[in-house]
């Protein structure tokens, strides 16, 4: 019983930790501020910690992340936190969180109404940092690495423009048809980097598309992936953790919408099926590595109280990601 009480306390603390990060104003939660929060977690709990700065991003060829970042005076950061729990060494779970600390839409600027909520576009990154904190406290015998590409998306004179072409870390070229489809760009390079580290399986979490919010409201998270067994595990674990997740299809026909005439792929397939085409975009970078994408655009932020949740940031998917990590550990013991 004591173990369950401890786990409940840790999960609650981690969820509130993420909420507090997400609720911070954008000028107090810049990419550099996210680094300091993550550094504090790593220092307190003995986690490995590293930050990839802009110069190293250039050396690594992270053109998609750098393209999004070029309109902001805030330097981009790529946060890496690792927990070594003494796994069997066969694999390391990779958790990837979108860290857009403010998203104006860039040149494809968003309407001013409710733009203030875009301080929460780093909810996925906050969730990953909070999960790493919880895992360090619970100490499962598994290895986990959290990755958070962090930047702002702003429209200054150097900003990315519609029609520009970027090259991601794996060499794929991307036609940018809408600068407000930026989250998938920074995640593309993050997924490439995770693969270069040999991380597997991969789970990314992001406030990625308004389309997912339209489809599912603020009630549940959308799930898509390339490995049905892993998708099923994430969904069932989420339900056990009290977080609703609904799978959307990944039929090959959706890939056609992302085809570009001037690059390997374009960064949006248009209005219809937008949550799915965004996931299909990410699938171009995960390749054969088992991967699940969680779109939390709806449930990450609510405008009125829901049950035990107060309005504002919810810390969506923190409990689920902690639980799936522990479940993978339990499976390895069997």
Among 7, 39, 110, 161, the one annotated catalytic: 110
Among 19, 184, 195, 213, the one annotated catalytic: 184
Q: Which two tokens stand for residue 233?
A: 């595990």
Closest CA to 64 of 195, 207, 184: 184
Secondary structure (3-state) at 72: coil
Closest CA to 147 of 130, 162, 129: 129
SS3 string of 152-191?
Answer: EECCCCCCCCCCCEEECCCCCEEECCCCCCCHHHHHHHHH
Dist CA 120 CA 315 (whole Å)? 11
Q: Is 148 exposed, middle or buried (0-12, 13-18, 19+ CB in 10 A)?
A: buried
Please list the residues that pair with 167 across neighbouring strands: 173
Alpha helices in the chain (DSSP H): 2-23, 31-45, 54-60, 63-69, 123-138, 183-196, 210-216, 228-240, 274-286, 318-333
Burial 164-177 (b: 16+ CB within 10 A, else e): bebbbbbebbbbbb
Q: Assess whether 184 carries a catalytic annotation.
A: yes
Q: Are the C-beta atoms of residues 134 and 11 closer than 8 Å to each other?
A: yes
Secondary structure (3-state) at 276: helix
Q: Assess whether 110 carries a catalytic annotation.
A: yes
Gap between the terminal Cα atoms of the chain: 22
For tokens 């109404």, what's the residue? Answer: 113
Q: Which residues are catalytic?
A: 110, 184
């Amino acid at each position: 019983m004591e173990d369950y009480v401890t786990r409940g306390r840790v999960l609650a603390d981690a969820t509130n930790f993420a909420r507090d990060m997400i609720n911070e104003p954008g000028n107090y939660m810049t990419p550099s501020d996210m680094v300091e929060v993550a550094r504090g977690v790593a220092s307190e709990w003995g986690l490995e910690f590293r930050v990839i700065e802009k110069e190293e991003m250039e050396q690594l060829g992270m053109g998609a992340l750098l393209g999004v970042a070029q309109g902001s005076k805030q330097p981009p950061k790529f946060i890496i936190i690792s927990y070594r729990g003494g796994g069997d060494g066969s694999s390391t779970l990779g958790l990837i969180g979108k860290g857009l600390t403010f998203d104006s839409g860039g040149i494809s600027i968003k309407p001013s109404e409710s733009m203030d909520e875009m301080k929460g576009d780093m909810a996925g990154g906050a969730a990953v940092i909070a999960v790493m904190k919880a895992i360090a406290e619970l100490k499962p015998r598994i290895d986990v690495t959290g990755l958070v590409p962090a930047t702002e998306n702003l429209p200054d004179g150097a900003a990315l423009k519609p029609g520009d072409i970027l090259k991601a870390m794996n060499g794929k070229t991307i036609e940018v048809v809408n600068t407000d489809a930026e989250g998938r760009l920074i995640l593309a390079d993050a997924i490439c980097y995770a693969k270069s580290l040999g991380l597997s399986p991969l789970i990314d979490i992001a406030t990625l598309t308004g389309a997912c919010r339209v489809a599912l409201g603020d009630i549940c998270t959308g799930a898509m992936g390339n490995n049905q067994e892993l998708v099923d595990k994430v969904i069932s674990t989420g339900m056990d953790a009290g977080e609703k997740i609904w799978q959307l299809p990944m039929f090959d026909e959706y890939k056609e919408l992302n085809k570009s005439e001037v690059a390997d792929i374009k960064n949006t397939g248009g209005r219809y099926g937008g949550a799915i085409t965004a996931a299909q975009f990410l699938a171009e970078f995960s390749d054969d590595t088992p991967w699940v994408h969680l779109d939390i655009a709806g449930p990450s932020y609510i405008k009125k109280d829901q049950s035990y949740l107060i309005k504002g940031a919810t810390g969506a998917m923190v409990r689920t990601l902690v639980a799936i990590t522990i479940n993978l550990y339990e499976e390895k013991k069997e």
